[in-house]
Amino acid sequence: MSLPHLPLDAITIGAHADDWPAAITAAGDALVRSGAATSAYTERMIGVIREFGAYIVIAPGLALAHARPGADVLTDGLCVVTLVEPVAFGHPHNDPVSVIVGLAVAGADDHLQFVAELANVFNDPTVIPALAGATNAEFVQSVFDRTAS
């Protein structure tokens, strides 16, 4: 199973966020806009970080925002938000964050396989800086679609 297609309306370039909850909210908004989730999912993504800390910052500059499957997930979805000003999440090694990948998965079984595909995208160390510097959504889409096939 490959990654869900990343639609242009799930990509936000150059968002402004004062703090990490605002950054996660920008990712939640992109999932809502593209029809993958409702705003309740945004709150749950923030709740995961409040409960467990900034462990979702899994590489320098990159946060993987997500929560468990739930009724607020309408369909599997992916979003990408880049920030004008990087934001600190409180991670000792990987702060500050300039790229947020948001993930909504309808069923727990899907999760493993499609997150594994994300590893294939990001194992290329040039990808995070390239996304952080992206000036248009089409470029971001091409990065994900290239590896999705």
Considering only 2, 39, 123, 142, the residue that binds another protein (CB under 8 A) is 123
Length of the chain: 149
CA diameter of the chain: 36
Q: Does 132 bind another protein (CB under 8 A)?
A: no
Tokens 């409180």 appear where?
90
Nearer to another protein, 5 or 111 (CB): 111
Select from 15-23, 34-42, 90-98, 129-137 the region that touches another protein (CB under 8 A): 90-98
Structure tokens at 126: 């040039």
Nearer to another protein, 22 or 54 (CB): 54
User: Nearest-CA neighbor of 141 among 121, 115, 123?
Assistant: 121
Considering only 1, 8, 88, 112, the residue that binds another protein (CB under 8 A) is 112
**Is the peptide bond preceding residue 96 cis, with omega within 30 degrees of 0?**
yes
Q: Does 64 bind another protein (CB under 8 A)?
A: yes
